[in-house]
Amino acid sequence: MNRAALYMRVSTLDQHPETQLYDLRQMAQQRGYRIVEEYTDTISGAKARRPGLDGMMRDARRGRFDVVLVWTSDRIARSVKHFLDVLDELNRLSIEFISFREQIDTGGPLGRAVVVIIGAIAELERNLIIERVRAGMRRARLEGRHIGRPSLRLDHAAIQRDHQRGQSLGQLAKSYRVSRTTISRVVGRTSPRAPT
């Protein structure tokens, strides 16, 4: 019986890996795999360093399992390079990679080719989304619309006055709900280690 590792990833805290977990456990049961470990990350797929993925790869190097099951291939990585690095290492370790939604595995060369193509398409889609967002921001700027947080409006005279009355930078920062660095700039100090 093949030993299986399940890997789940969600991007935000308000998403839950239970849907992925249910499908992967069912797939493992149908294929007769024994689940030896389940790894979960709540982090952006754009980040190469992830505790769950890192732990899975460490256990892969120790030979703890024979197959990795993921819900969809973009759960492993968002860049094609990182995805291929993970697949190459799993391949070197003779560990099969199976994606539930795409119904593909790396048991043969065709499965590996399909995984690479899917990864490339997913990366292209993300890059197109990023480009559309940037184009929208450029258009907003050209139309004179403000993008981002509203400008910080502080009463500089009041901050100077309160500082001259003996309030420390920390007290001023708390009163005006800004950072000490901002207060330092207003009172004319550049050193973050100014006496409080």
Asked whether 81 and 122 are in contact (CB, 8 A), the reply is no
Asked whether 35 and 28 are in contact (CB, 8 A), the reply is yes
Phi-psi group of 148: left, alpha or beta (phi > 0 → left; psi -120 to 50 → alpha; rest → beta):
left
- Interatomic CA distance for residues 142 and 183, integer angstroms: 33
- Interatomic CA distance for residues 105 and 103, integer angstroms: 7
Look at residue 163 and give its three-state secondary structure: helix
Could you confirm whether 73 is annotated as catalytic? no
DSSP state of 125: H
- Interatomic CA distance for residues 164 and 30, integer angstroms: 74
Neighbours of 171 (CB within 10 A): 14
The residues that are catalytic are 11
